[in-house]
């Protein structure tokens, strides 16, 4: 007979030593200023408290006091590793409200740049993931390929990261004369780089031992958590906005969607590496029949969409980016809501981490591939 209020201490509970370990915001492996409070029993994690907001800049609110063209740089700064993809989503939303048509040359340029940006982002993931696993060389390899892509970006937009290049109705400037040649000569380099990356890390026994079966999330759980992008596809759900709801002429291109089997860290890694190949395929096709013509459609000087609202979603390297745009017919939007893939993917962190080892926490967080600029906005 147990008296009420009397706590039974089992031998198991008495053996436990529950200490908390703080990771972040200044930890080398939290990929920015993410912070986690990990409750550990020895090396095993028993509870996780995530904290976000260290990089909060009020981007969505800022959008309400800027004109439509002024908002584009703000979108660059959300997910700064895939700035073109962010710009594209917002620009598409404005075009949808305005009912604008985009010249083919502009659409093709956008696709090329977005896919190159996806490749750059995934190479960055490759490097960071290597560091998380304790290998230092992948970082240098990843950065080498990314650097070559950045050079193309720089020649196109003048900026390496904060491009501010897409405009409602087209582009800011026409691409430089050597753009097609540059991209064409870039592709074999990227293929070689991908081969190097695979040789360095993919088959490594230690890497396999560290990532296989770690951070598993089932297809149903992934759907329930509303995960998207490689996180979702690694669990075996073939969902890609580029294919399922094509935007910006993606329906013209032939590509397949890599899908994982088990939804563990290794599958997420493999899916991203396979996506690099597919992106190279898309860029190859786009550059093969790169059209001429104007780079900007007939766009009013003053962008003032008619009152209304729209939701546009695009496939970012990290997942599904959505923009919900409300216009009241003014020069500035009434409301811009961003559905960020990093933020939503990160929300599953508790389920992923609890029960794993402390060392795996770093890998699992790395496999989610968050960018804090977009988590905190």
Partner 1 sequence: MIEEAIRAAVGVFVVFNVVALSVLVLVLLERKFLGRLQQRFGPMRVGPHGILQTVADALKLLLKEDFTPATADRRLFQLAPFLVIVPIFLPFVTIPFAPGLVVRSLELGLLYIVAVPVVSALGFFLAGWASDNKYALLGAVRYAAVLVSYELPLLMGAIGVVMVTGTLDLVAIVEQQAAWPLLFAQLPAFLLFLVSGMAEGNRTPFDIAIAESEIVGGPFVEYSGMRWSLFFLAEYAGVFATAALTALLFLGGWNGPLLPPLVWFLVKTYAVIIVIFWLRGTMPRLRIDQLMNLAWKGFIPIAFLNLVVTGAAVLIGGPGPGSPLVILGGLATTAVSLAALSLALRPRRRSDVRIGFATRPGDDVADRPPAASHYSIP
Q: Interface residues for partner 1 in 65-124 (CB under 8 A)?
A: none
207 binds partner 1 (CB under 8 A): yes
State the DSSP code for 250: G
Task: Identify which range of 57-65, 162-170, 250-258, 304-312 contacts partner 1 by CB under 8 A.
Answer: 250-258
The 268-307 site mask, x for binding partner 1 (CB under 8 A), equals --xx--x---------------------------------
258 binds partner 1 (CB under 8 A): yes
Tell me if 377 sits within 8 A of 278, measured CB to CB. Answer: no
The tokens for 226 are 């509303």
Assign 144 to helix, strand or coil: helix
Q: How far apart are CA 233 and CA 242, in angstroms?
A: 13
Helix axes 137-157, 104-133, angle to 10 degrees: 160
Give 76 or 145: the residue with its C-beta nearer to partner 1: 145
Assign 80 to helix, strand or coil: coil
Task: Identify which range of 5-13, 47-55, 116-124, 256-264 contacts partner 1 by CB under 8 A.
Answer: 256-264
Give 155 or 220: the residue with its C-beta nearer to partner 1: 220
Q: How far apart are CA 249 and CA 59, in angstroms?
A: 29
Give the footprint of partner 1 on residues 129-158 (CB under 8 A). 130-137, 140-141, 144
Tell me if 270 sits within 8 A of 194, measured CB to CB. Answer: no
Neighbours of 244 (CB within 10 A): 11
Give the footprint of partner 1 on residues 48-67 (CB under 8 A). none
| Shortest reach from residue 56's CB to partner 1, in Å | 25
Q: How far apart are CA 94 and CA 272, in angstroms?
A: 30
**Applying CB under 8 A, which of residues 263, 317, 319, 341 lies at the interface with partner 1?**
263
| Number of residues written out for the chain | 377
| Shortest reach from residue 220's CB to partner 1, in Å | 5
Sign for the pseudo-dihedral over CA of 24, 27, 31, 33: positive
**Applying CB under 8 A, which of residues 191, 243, 304, 339 lies at the interface with partner 1?**
243
| Shortest reach from residue 202's CB to partner 1, in Å | 7
Give 264 or 376: the residue with its C-beta nearer to partner 1: 264
Give the footprint of partner 1 on residues 217-236 (CB under 8 A). 217-221, 223, 235-236
**Applying CB under 8 A, which of residues 13, 16, 18, 21 lies at the interface with partner 1?**
21
Give 115 or 132: the residue with its C-beta nearer to partner 1: 132
**Applying CB under 8 A, which of residues 65, 261, 308, 350 lies at the interface with partner 1?**
261
36: closest CA among 57, 54, 22? 22
Q: How far apart are CA 333 and CA 70, in angstroms?
A: 11
238 binds partner 1 (CB under 8 A): yes
Q: How far apart are CA 127 and CA 341, in angstroms?
A: 20
189 binds partner 1 (CB under 8 A): no
350 binds partner 1 (CB under 8 A): no
Site for partner 1 (CB under 8 A): how many residues? 72
Nearest 10 degrees: Cα torsion 165, 127, 219, 227: -40
Give the footprint of partner 1 on residues 26-45 (CB under 8 A). 27-29, 43
Q: How far apart are CA 33 and CA 211, in angstroms?
A: 24
Give 264 or 320: the residue with its C-beta nearer to partner 1: 264
368: closest CA among 26, 27, 31, 24? 31
176 binds partner 1 (CB under 8 A): no
């Amino acid at each position: 007979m147990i008296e009420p209020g009397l706590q039974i201490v089992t031998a198991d509970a008495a053996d436990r030593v529950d200490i908390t370990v703080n990771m972040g915001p200044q930890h080398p492996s939290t990929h920015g200023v993410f912070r986690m409070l990990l409750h550990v029993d020895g090396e095993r994690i028993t509870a996780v408290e995530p904290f976000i907001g260290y990089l909060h800049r009020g981007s969505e609110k800022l959008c309400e006091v800027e004109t439509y063209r002024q908002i584009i740089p703000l979108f660059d700064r959300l997910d700064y590793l895939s700035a073109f993809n962010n710009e594209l989503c917002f620009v598409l939303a404005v075009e949808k409200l305005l009912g604008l048509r985009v010249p083919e040359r502009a659409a093709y340029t956008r696709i090329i740049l977005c896919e190159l940006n996806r490749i750059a982002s995934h190479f960055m993931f490759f490097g960071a993931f290597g560091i998380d696993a304790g290998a230092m060389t992948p970082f240098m390899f990843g950065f080498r390929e990314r650097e070559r892509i950045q050079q193309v970006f720089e020649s196109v937009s003048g900026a390496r990261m904060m491009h501010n290049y897409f405009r409602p109705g087209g582009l800011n400037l026409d691409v430089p004369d050597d753009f097609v040649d540059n991209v064409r000569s870039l592709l074999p380099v990227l293929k070689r780089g991908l081969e190097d990356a695979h040789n360095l890390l993919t088959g490594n026994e230690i890497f396999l031992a560290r990532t296989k079966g770690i951070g598993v999330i089932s297809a149903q759980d992934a759907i329930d958590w509303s995960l998207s992008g490689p996180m979702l596809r690694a669990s075996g759900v073939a969902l890609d906005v580029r294919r399922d709801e094509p935007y910006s002429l993606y329906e013209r291109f032939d590509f397949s969607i890599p899908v994982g089997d088990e939804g563990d860290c290794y599958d997420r890694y493999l899916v991203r590496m396979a996506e690099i190949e597919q992106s190279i395929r898309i860029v190859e096709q786009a550059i093969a029949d790169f059209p001429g013509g104007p780079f900007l459609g007939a766009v009013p000087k003053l962008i003032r969409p008619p009152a209304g609202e729209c939701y546009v979603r695009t496939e970012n390297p990290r997942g599904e980016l959505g923009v919900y745009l409300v216009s009241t017919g003014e020069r500035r939007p009434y409301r811009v809501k961003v559905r960020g893939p990093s933020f939503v993917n990160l929300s599953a962190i508790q389920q992923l981490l609890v029960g794993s080892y402390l060392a795996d926490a770093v890998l699992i967080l790395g496999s989610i591939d968050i960018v804090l600029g977009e988590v905190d906005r």
